[in-house]
Structure 1
């Protein structure tokens, strides 16, 4: 029996790895930027535990939240220019629009993560009351 258990565990690990990689790629696609290594690592730590029961879209939202929260701290720490702040806000807004479109298409998001994303987006200056960025809670 231990052979089959090992085989099942290996299959599960491969599937989890594939799901987290897809979520990482989807987050980068929605944001329009490559995720910084520290955000990728922090996001992976968060989604690896939930990869076997969560959707790729949900995990991509978590990567987006991690990116937005990191940028909030970073922009203030380096006293970023208005132009760079707008660029970051546009990236997060683009991701919010993409995630809202996915939700309207049938993706199911946990309300806790939706609230976190909206809060982080608002801190970056994204107008989250736009019809394009309307999440169902």
Structure 2
């Protein structure tokens, strides 16, 4: 017996396979611009820049766990900063040579959405000397109970 359900009507279970139109339906225009088009929110405007709430930061696009509040630190750069992701397999780091700069872009490993950039060797007093500079709009905070 064969499955009579057309494949095109089956719900997408892997967010990495969603089309641009599906992402546009799921996200606000501002979220889409940052998460799917690698935009950046203006510095010091994001909701999590100065947040000290204990909890887990998830990908706003697919809900994957990315960072814990214990890994967040104040870098005064204008965006939430973390010294480490929750686990190395939660993110993907990709060379980014856009805008005439050499940087490392950070993507959600689950849905391939743009999160921000990671910077090394800037003298931060953190366990890793890394700064994951992440757009607030790319995250949603799940407060600890």
TM range (shorter): under 0.3
TM-score by length of 1: 0.27
Structure (1/2) with the larger helix percentage: 1
